[in-house]
Amino acid sequence: GLGLGLGSGAAEPMGNLLGRPPARQVFDTAIFDLDGTLLSPDHTLAPATIHTVRKLHAKGVTIAIATGRSAPALLPVVEALGLPEVPVVCYNGAAGITCTLDAAGKARVQKQVFQAPVSAEATKAAVAFGERLGLVVQYYAGDKILVTRENELTRRYRHLTGVQQVVVPNFEGQPLPSKILVMVEEERVDEVHAAAKEEVPACFGSSLKPKPRPNPSPNPDPTPSTDPHPHPDPKP
């Protein structure tokens, strides 16, 4: 999918760019999700995708990213795109950053535009919920992903995103996180979903929904996500 921010820019209509009949509106911004959208099923950037995104940029279109990933997990994508500057909303909407390339072509966070950490109440509830059910909780503190133990799901996440979690005894004394991810095995999704609705409605309410199955491609964030910054259109 491709999110288009309509504006009054001078870029060509999408149809012209992709060789189809021109669309009525003209757009100046293209906002991409990563997993399941800009990235292929194996969570890599296809050469054709890079070519098309660069072509859009050359036409004057601002390329932006909106993702649930952390900043370290998205920098390799920005680097592969090779664009001089990319605005990014990450951590499921909890932070806005601007990414640029240095002289060596390495992507870095040039500026933080905004940050809205998870509340202390929601953090405490989510961590306690995950621990009570024996689930691994990923705690996104700054640019680090903290866990109190590792399992197959944390190893899968690390393989797909290239980000190494940091194992800590507990989360006490840590800054409020940008995101919390409770990692759930596929066979426990229904159980955990029912328990979350019962135990933490103040944090998650009706935004916590069962994920459609089967999942055609692996997602770095195993289901269901108990993220206090839910995406308005949750994905498997």
**Contact at 8 Å (CB) between 65 and 89?**
yes
pLDDT of residue 56: 94
- Per-residue pLDDT reduced to its tens digit, 156-194: 999 989 999 999 999 999 999 999 999 999 999 999 999
Phi, psi of 147 (to 5 degrees): -140, 155
Residue 16 tokens read as 């012209």
pLDDT tens for the chain, 236 residues long, are 233 333 333 344 444 555 566 555 578 999 999 998 999 998 899 999 999 999 999 999 999 999 999 999 999 999 999 999 999 999 999 999 999 999 999 999 999 999 999 999 999 999 999 999 999 999 999 999 999 999 999 999 999 899 999 999 999 999 999 999 999 999 999 999 999 888 887 665 444 444 555 554 445 554 444 444 444 333 43
CA atoms within 13 A on the CB side of 155: 3
Give the separation between CA 127 and CA 60, rounded to whole angstroms. 44
DSSP-derived 3-state class of residue 23: coil
pLDDT of residue 224: 41
Whole-prediction pTM value? 0.74
Beta strands in the chain (DSSP E): 3-6, 27-32, 62-66, 85-90, 95-101, 107-115, 136-141, 144-147, 166-167, 179-183
